[in-house]
Structure 1
Amino acid sequence: MQFKDRQILALDCGSFVSDDRDVDPFAGARLLRDVLSGPQDLSFTETANDVSTEMWKSMRATVLGSYSLGWLRILRPASFAIEAATNHMRALKVMRPLGHAFDGVLCRAVSPSSWLIYGPTPGKADAFLTEPISDVDFATLLPELMTQFAVRPVWRQGQLELMLRHAARKRSYGERHQRAVKNRGGKIIGLYLFYGNKGDIGRTVQVVSEPGLESIVIDCLLRDASASGLVAIRGASQPNIIQAMIGKKCAFVPSAATIVHTHDQELLEALKSGQAFINGLVGEGWTRFIGDRFE
């Protein structure tokens, strides 16, 4: 990774497990200790559950609260309620047409500015277009949009393109929507990657924009998600995105924790102050371990 004017070695820590925990309850803790004592300048994870979080904290790691929130924007409330309930009771799928009909009534009866429904409203985003973008172009443009961050990844030639091809394998998440946001002059000012079929709750892996244009890129993301027939869309937070989502009727809830461990105090302060580009494509969110089926 790049930290200001120097390169650092970073370790992305995914899941860790141990066999026969009842016999050796501290095996996982020793494993984590050995990992964190490696030669890297920075260790981090974006997928820590409650048990892992406490273990990391015992190793003097730091939880980044502004990176550990999940955001949710409901687009079609009745359909969203039914879709969320089907995760616990599959038989409720038969009610999807009813939800679709009720959302149609709400759309006609309620103002688009209401919390109850989503509807594109006139705004600055109308002056911007979105279009699908290839893995090659996405991989070329993303590093250019990351230069605003003091801590950011340094991918080898072809590495990010390979990751994006790998990211296509998320059968549990549905169709991949990889798009660029451009102004009328054709300049690309933002990128995003999300998944979901019509009627699904969509999942966002990455959102990035030029500084100061985050709000417009998020408006375009919500507009595309709604046009794709999603009933809601969710994703992991980043500090600059949270700020831009204020007023867009997004709910924020605690999600898997993003945690960092470093002995470099200057680096830690940059991470704590939201100057890092992590989560999503800099973590585990892009891999098929999250969202694919292994049969």
Structure 2
Amino acid sequence: MNPVSAKAGPGKVAGPSALESHGLVRPLAAEDLEHVAALFLTKFRHRRRQRDRAIARTADYMRELYLGGDESKALVQIDPQGRLGGFMGVLEARYELNGTALNAAIIGPFMTDSSIDHGWAGPQLLRALHQGEFDLYLTDSANRTSLAFARPMKYQLLPVHCLEWTCVFRPGAMAVAMLRRKWPGMPRLALDPFAGALDALARKRFEPPAQHSSSQRIHREPIDAARFAERLPVLMADYSLRPSWRDGELPRLLALAAEKQADGPLHFGGIHDETGKMLGCYAFYGQAGGIANLLQIQASGPHWGATLDALIAAARDLGCVGIAGQTQSKFMPQLFGYKNVFFHYAGGTMVRSRIADVTEAVRSGDIFVGGLMGDRWTRLSSDDFGRV
């Protein structure tokens, strides 16, 4: 494969000499990264300042994420003139269903360059993906455009997983945190006094809720990433369709997830009974004064309420002003028991498979999806690559 030509001009990417009439699709290569990063920032960050640095950092991260192992599963579409027309981020994963191994594709950023693409890149990328070796395809971050593309291709939508829940601890401080997330340069002194006054007035309304755990013998404590990686596969055994991580894969995945910066460091915790047996665990990003962001929560049997209590208490103890996370059907009844919890659409969660047993498991909600089995844990979901 030829490198990018200096004569090619902006946006042109190395590609085969013979192109199809509307372009072709091939795996992502190292020489594509700068152009893919620039397109990503244009589509999802709208960055104008410090753009060169942001492109370089985004390209470096994409290299680690998509080209760090075996052959890349991420795809690029190249138009007949050799220019980048579109990109689809794809991560390979393994699932199992009743002991049968399944190869899965986790779909991340999906974008086309509207300045040169005439509607061919998106369908070409999806068709190429579906012609691959995967048994199921899933995403938990589809926007409405992607939903429109996927609907005719028989993706199953999981409505509950499309929602995000937010629990407010301090409404004034949370509003300020949301404004600073959108406008990082906003001065603290301009809004903090008003936030403090509002929180003082609303303190009684936003007091910590009563604990759902009926047993005083259940206690929570922080754990490390290794302990979380050890216990999560055990706790998710209730799902028929679930991930199948090989030795060392889950710790490596957690290490990658810990690189995300937008919401603070990654914290782990669990709840235990009096014998020390772990009944539930959680992982979330958070820092004092910020909005905690749930990465993963899992519990066994009837212990979802106690695990959710522990998660929210841990975020409060850290000094967070609220917490948000992807919803799951397993703990929706417990969420409804909290006051000051709000729901909104955050991104489409969809699954596609030609295997009848897989589609039935998805239809019945018997699938572990989202969190670590999605792409919201990557830095591409939220980080600003242009900041110092």
Larger radius of gyration: 2
Q: Which residue of 2 aligns with 1:117?
A: 206
Q: Which residue of 1 aligns with 2:330?
A: 240
Q: Which residue of 2 aligns with 1:102?
A: 198
Contact map agreement 1:205 1:280 (CA 8 A) in 2: yes
- Tell whether 2:188 aligns with 1:93: yes
Q: Which residue of 2 aligns with 1:51?
A: 145
Q: Which residue of 1 aligns with 2:78?
A: none
Where 1:147 maps in the other structure, the secondary structure is helix
Give the letter aligned to residue 212 of structure 1. Answer: P
Give the letter aligned to residue 142 of structure 1. Answer: L
C-alpha root-mean-square deviation of aligned residues, in Å? 1.9
Q: Which residue of 1 aligns with 2:351?
A: 260
Cα deviation, residue 137, structure 1: 1.4
Which whole-Å CA distance do the structure 1 matches of 2:349 and 2:211 have between them? 36
Which whole-Å CA distance do the structure 2 matches of 1:230 and 1:276 have between them? 31
Give the letter aligned to residue 150 of structure 1. Answer: S
Give the letter aligned to residue 378 of structure 2. Answer: T
User: Could you tell me the TM-score, scaled by structure 2's length?
Assistant: 0.70
Cα deviation, residue 21, structure 1: 5.0
Cα deviation, residue 100, structure 1: 3.0
Match of 1:223 among 298, 313, 317: 313
**Which stretches in structure 2 are left out of the alignment for 5+ residues?**
1-94
Cα deviation, residue 293, structure 1: 4.0
Please show how residues 85-234 of structure 1 align to structure 2 within 5 Å.
85-89=179-183, 90-91=185-186, 93-94=188-189, 95-107=191-203, 110=204, 116-121=205-210, 123-124=212-213, 127-234=217-324
User: Could you tell me the TM-score, scaled by structure 1's length?
Assistant: 0.90
* Alpha-carbon displacement from aligned partner over 1:148-178 (angstroms, at most 9, x marks no partner): 0011000110010011111111221112211
Give the number of equivalent residue pairs: 288
Which whole-Å CA distance do the structure 2 matches of 1:21 and 1:272 have between them? 38
Q: Which moved more, 1:151-160 or 1:170-179?
A: 170-179
Contact map agreement 2:262 2:383 (CA 8 A) in 1: yes
Contact map agreement 2:270 2:307 (CA 8 A) in 1: no
Higher relative contact order (CA 8 A, sep 6+): 1
Q: Which residue of 1 aligns with 2:122?
A: 28
Q: 1:137 to 1:262 in 2, by over 3 A?
A: same
Match of 1:41 among 129, 135, 160: 135
Q: Which moved more, 1:76-85 or 1:148-157?
A: 76-85
Which whole-Å CA distance do the structure 2 matches of 1:206 and 1:156 have between them? 19
- Tell whether 2:374 aligns with 1:283: yes
**Which stretches in structure 1 are left out of the alignment for 5+ residues?**
111-115
Which whole-Å CA distance do the structure 2 matches of 1:244 and 1:123 have between them? 8
Give the letter aligned to residue 46 of structure 1. Answer: D
Contact map agreement 1:64 1:258 (CA 8 A) in 2: yes
Q: 1:101 to 1:20 in 2, by over 3 A?
A: closer
Q: Which residue of 2 aligns with 1:113?
A: none
